[in-house]
Structure formats: C-alpha cells, structure tokens
C-alpha cells in the first residue's frame, strides 16, 4: 500500500493539473456517486490535500471528494484525449482545461461535506500528518508520552494511523533504525532524549522520502552507493527488506520479525533492546 509520501506526491500531480481551475468534467464509476457529477462539474477545485494515506479534493461550495488508494489504486494525470496504458478500471476523474486527473482501481471514494468529513470513521481518528499539517518535534515527543500510546510497542505504534497519519511498513522500520531504537521497545521505557530522537526521525524520514521519491538513505550514502553501480533497490533503504544482509553502519546481520501484523526489520546492534539515553521518563 502506498504510504504518506507517495500519496502526497500523487496529490501534487493532481493539484498541478486541476487545483484553482474549474472542473469541466467530473466522472464517478460508482452508481451511488453519479448524482454528484453534475453537482461538482462547473465548480472550481479549491485544494488537493492529503490526510495520511487518503486524499481530499476540495471543490468550491464545501464539498470534497475523499479517496483512498488501498492496495491497487493509482492516479494518472493526462492531457485531454489521452488515456494511460493500463488494464485497471477508471473509478474517478476530474477534467479541467487541458488535463484530466484519473484515479484507477481505488474502491474507497466518497463525497463529503464539512460535517460528514469531521465525523468520517477514517478521517476523524487520524493523527497528525507530517506532510500536510507539519507537527513539531516537541509535539510528537509529547504525543509519544500520552497514556494511550506510551505502553505500546513502538514497532506496532508507528503503524497506527491514529498516532501519526501516513506511516507504513517501510517507513516505521527506517524511522526506528535512524532513531536507533528497537521495535519492541515502548515509549514509557525510553529516555527523554530517545523520544526526542524518535520524533525527529519521524519528521525527517517522512520528509526525506517525499523529496527523494522513496529513498530513505541519507543523500550522501545513497549517492555513494549509486556511484558504485548499485541499483535503486540496493541504495533505497537502511534496513527494510534486508533481513540477513549486513547492516550499512555496523555490518552485523539484520533481523526481521512480525510486529504489528507486518514484518519489521532492524539491526540488533544499532538498535539495542535497552534504553541508551541519559535520562529516563517516569513510568508512573
């Protein structure tokens, strides 16, 4: 499933094509949404934004189209009169001027007003979105200390969209590695400086992945490996998908284990099971 950075980049492409323009065509594949085609056609697209792994296309007048790609959804932006070469099924389309934004294969599409958006069962429970809401390091560190989050294993917590929206399986592994924290650790067992380091990694890795089109390695390390002839798949990640390979930092063997229902990857040396900070939070 695409994670937050991939959905944000898709939103950028859609926004470049239709944001600020009047929609001269709106298409829905699902019969229950067909009545909204004439309602939204002729309205300006005010904003294309994201909430975690979901996208909101806001039209003037207060209606928004919420879409979630799930596993198979994919956005295309095409010039009028052209269609992508794909066997996927078109589910939603917006035409504005010379371009059309086309969503294929997604099954979760809804038209919302302000009230139904506030009460939406997915949107209403989301935590802050790093790429659209810009939480601070201090805010995320404080969030880790909240009673509802502090006793959960971090490897599972980082998959919870109610904690931070948009994180997924590869990002949680890479974030924990850069923070040098074992995925089985809990926030309540971490030192203050470890929680600050983790919060900083959540922000930095999510933003880096957005900028680099999915590469979580530091730019210098990725460039070094690329110059040595490595393929993109070989210089993309620190630990994700690299079980039994050598750690890029200490050269020890990386491990993988199911945590939070998904396989998580880590280095047993770089990510110790015990706290390494100088100060420890109270567990009371």
Distance of CA 111 to the CA centre of its chain: 22
Q: Encoding tokens for residue 139? A: 């805010």
Catalytic (active site) residue 110: no
Q: What are phi and psi of 76, to 5 degrees?
A: -130, 145
Could you say which of 2, 5, 128, 183 is catalytic? 2
Instruction: Give first-to-last CA distance, the chain, whole Å.
Output: 37
Q: Encoding tokens for residue 171? A: 């990002």
Angle (CA) 218-222-224 rounded to 5° is: 120
Q: Across-strand partners of 58? A: 47, 64
Residue with tokens 């998580």: 264
Catalytic (active site) residue 8: no
For the chain, give percent helix, strand, coil, nearest 5: 35, 25, 45
Could you say which of 8, 9, 53, 180 is catalytic? 53
Could you say which of 3, 6, 19, 110 is catalytic? 3
Query: With contact defined as beta carbons under 8 Å apart, do 69 and 106 qualify?
Result: yes
Catalytic (active site) residue 138: no
Could you say which of 184, 221, 255, 262 is catalytic? 262
Q: What are phi and psi of 270, to 5 degrees?
A: -70, -25
Catalytic (active site) residue 135: no
Residues designated catalytic:
2-3, 53, 262
């Amino acid at each position: 499933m695409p994670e937050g950075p991939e959905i944000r980049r898709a939103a950028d492409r859609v926004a470049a094509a239709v944001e600020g323009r009047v929609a001269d065509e709106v298409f829905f594949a699902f019969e229950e949404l067909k009545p909204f085609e004439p309602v939204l056609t002729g309205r300006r697209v005010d904003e294309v934004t994201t909430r975690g792994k979901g996208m909101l296309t806001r039209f003037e007048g207060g209606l928004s189209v919420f879409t979630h790609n799930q596993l198979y959804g994919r956005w295309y932006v095409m010039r009028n009169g052209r269609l992508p070469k794909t066997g996927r099924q078109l589910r939603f389309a917006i035409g504005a001027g010379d371009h059309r934004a086309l969503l294929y294969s997604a099954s979760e599409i809804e038209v919302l007003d302000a009230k139904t958006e506030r009460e939406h069962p997915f949107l209403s429970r989301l935590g802050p979105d790093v790429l659209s809401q810009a939480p601070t390091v201090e805010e995320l560190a404080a969030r880790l200390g909240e009673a509802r989050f502090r006793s959960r294993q971090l490897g599972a917590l980082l998959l919870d969209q109610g904690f931070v929206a948009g994180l997924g399986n590869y990002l949680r592994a890479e974030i924990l590695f850069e923070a040098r924290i074992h995925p089985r650790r809990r926030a309540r067992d971490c030192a203050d400086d470890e929680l600050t380091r983790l919060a900083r990694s959540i922000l930095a890795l999510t933003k880096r992945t957005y900028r680099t089109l999915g590469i979580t390695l530091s730019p210098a390390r990725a460039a070094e490996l690329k110059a040595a002839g490595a393929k993109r798949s070989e210089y993309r990640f620190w630990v994700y998908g690299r079980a039994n390979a050598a750690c890029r930092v200490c050269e020890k063997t990386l491990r993988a284990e199911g945590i939070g229902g998904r396989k998580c990857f880590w280095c047993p040396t770089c990510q110790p099971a015990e706290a390494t900070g100088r100060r420890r939070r109270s567990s009371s």
